[in-house]
Amino acid sequence: MKPAPFTYIRPQRIEDAVAQLVEGGWDAKVIAGGQSLMPMLNLRMVSAERLIDIRRIPQLTACKDLGAEVRIGAGVTHARIQQGDIPDPSNGLMPKVASRIAYQAVRNRGTIGGSLSLADPAADWVTTMAALGATVEWHGEAGPQTGPAEDFIQAAYTTNLGPTDVLTAIRIPRLPREAVWGTYKLCRKTGEFAHAMAMVIRGGVTRAFLGATDGAPIRLPSVETELQRAPTCDAGLERALGEAMETDIANSSRELADVRRWQMRTCLVRATRMSFGIPELAVSA
């Protein structure tokens, strides 16, 4: 199938894109990489009378090292992050995450801003930006606005973006040099969205998140406490992490089936072991 007819517009400025969204109303859609929108248009699961292509807007593909943080334009592709074409504030975490997104053809065109705007709970950048303490920038009728990535996702496919807002950039604080990380996602086959995901950062800062949930990533403060006082990763720590994770899920008022919680625990243990430098093949969980 092919999409229904639409008007194609390629603005050169963010303000022009916003103006087109205002004029087009609910029948206008923004496209960047198109890796999610185009298949839905082709299947006619989504319709758009006006398609606003923001790929050529220079501000959206620019990156700047600001010292304490790095500002990445929303139009930067996964491949550029994977290949190290932009400054990396994450001690290698972001290139690792980018390398695991779908397939290379998707990474060549898909964008970090498009991933966050779609807000699929299983998408890698949703959890990664929350774990890194990033700040999201967007522009709309009310002008420029910002908000923490941890609070940007309200629910599955629902964000703080209004109908005339365009996500413009992500600011990512630079991790301390001593910071280490671990990340693990459970997929039935390479390239598909995750069924469960966990991310751990230790050293200077301590953060732990579960991704691929029913909505926004779940932060794990009790797990973070266990990680802060753990000198090594052993069976005792792994049991403590599982118990702490259950506490954090209960405190979050989020409902996860028993099998999902077991999958999340496995991902959390494997991410933690990775952060301690234990090879993945040695993981028994």
Residue type, 211: G
**Mean pLDDT over residues 211-217, rounded?**
95
58 contacts: CB under 8 Å, gap ≥ 6: none
Distance CA 283, CA 248 (A): 24
Cβ atoms 55, 32 nearer than 8 A: yes
Q: Is pLDDT above 90 for 106?
A: yes
- Give the pLDDT of residue 33: 86
Confidence of residue 282 (pLDDT cuts 50, 70, 90): very low
Cβ atoms 102, 138 nearer than 8 A: no
29-38, 100-109, 276-285: which has the highest mean pLDDT?
A: 100-109
Domains and their CATH numbers in the chain: 7-53 (3.30.43.10), 58-173 (3.30.465.10), 181-282 (3.30.390.50)
Q: Is pLDDT above 80 for 285?
A: no
- In order, the DSSP letters of 19-56 are HHHHHHGGGEEEESS-TTHHHHHHTTSS--SEEEE-TT
Q: Is pLDDT above 90 for 170?
A: yes
Give the model confidence (pLDDT) of 192-211 as tens digits: 889 999 999 999 999 999 99
Cβ atoms 149, 136 nearer than 8 A: yes
Q: Is pLDDT above 80 for 283?
A: no
Residue type, 176: P
Distance CA 235, CA 216 (A): 29
**Mean pLDDT over residues 242-253, rounded?**
96
DSSP-assigned beta bridge partners for residue 200: 182, 208
Q: Is pLDDT above 60 for 10?
A: yes
Cβ atoms 89, 172 nearer than 8 A: yes
**Mean pLDDT over residues 108-121, rounded?**
95
- Give the pLDDT of residue 281: 53
- Give the pLDDT of residue 284: 38
- Mean pLDDT is lowest, of 48-57, 75-84, 201-210, 231-240, for 48-57
- Give the pLDDT of residue 1: 66
Tell me what the pLDDT averaged over the chain comes to. Answer: 93
143 contacts: CB under 8 Å, gap ≥ 6: none
pTM value is 0.93
- Give the pLDDT of residue 69: 98
**Mean pLDDT over residues 105-111, rounded?**
94
Percent of the chain with pLDDT over 90: 82
**Mean pLDDT over residues 13-29, rounded?**
93
Distance CA 28, CA 48 (A): 6
